[in-house]
Amino acid sequence: MNILKEIAGRLCAAWALVTFIITFILVLPFALLSYLFKEPASTAYFIQVSKVWMHIWMFIIGCPVKIRGTENFQEGMGYIVTCNHNSLLDIPLSSAFIPGPNKTIAKNSFAKIPIFGWYYSKGSVLVDRKSEKSRKQSIEKMKAVLKAGMHMCIYPEGTRNRTSAPLKPFYNGAFKLAADTGHPVIPGVIIGTKEAVPLNKPFFFLPRTLELHFLKPVEVSGKGAATLKEEVFAIMTGYLRDRQ
């Protein structure tokens, strides 16, 4: 049975990759139209295209998507959305299904991929983690995103969680941004991506339901970054443990 599962996982991974490329090529001309608009309308349109793409691709690869808690977003308000990070599927899932225009803080290495790099960059605030100058510039760019009424999606664990714990320790960035700007934090809990794309198995994928749950906003209310980080970490950890 294990051998059959291993074979199935590789075949499904190949299918997912091929269909990702094909659907990306088909959706790209529509995404390019986002340049006809000014911000935030440009990103709003781009995210709608991404949402359609992800609905189609997730259906093709056998991963139904369940989104909960969208009522926690107040129209016209920009939020800092903090998501747990388990898999390469996390970013397309969160970016497409966060309600309203949003950008994701992301490392700049994927932006160098021909053609796809443009798409990746459009939905992101890019940062070179090795450059202090780039990190400082990314903070100002994220503040500009929030000021424009858009959301910023941040993965406070920094990298994918390879531990057995529900979450890795959080970095300060998302919470310092919240404390500096006063924008509330909405914890976003991603479920299912770790099982669909296990980190210990190269080029392996098995279809399953993917979920993204948006929890109630955490207001800044004069709290410092450290307090916000502890509060959001406790909320997300408790939510994940309740579902184990």
Mean pLDDT, range 158-162, rounded to an integer: 93
Element (H, E) at 190: strand 185-191
CB atoms inside a 10 Å sphere around CB 165: 10
Q: What is the pLDDT of residue 1?
A: 60
Q: What is the pLDDT of residue 96?
A: 97
Q: Could you give the domains of the chain?
A: 2-242 (3.40.1130.10)
Alpha helices in the chain (DSSP H): 2-32, 41-60, 90-97, 116-122, 132-147, 173-181, 193-196, 225-242
- SS3 category, 32: helix
* C-alpha torsion sign, points 199, 157, 63, 49: negative
Query: pLDDT digits over 28-54, tens only?
Result: 999 999 999 999 999 999 999 999 999
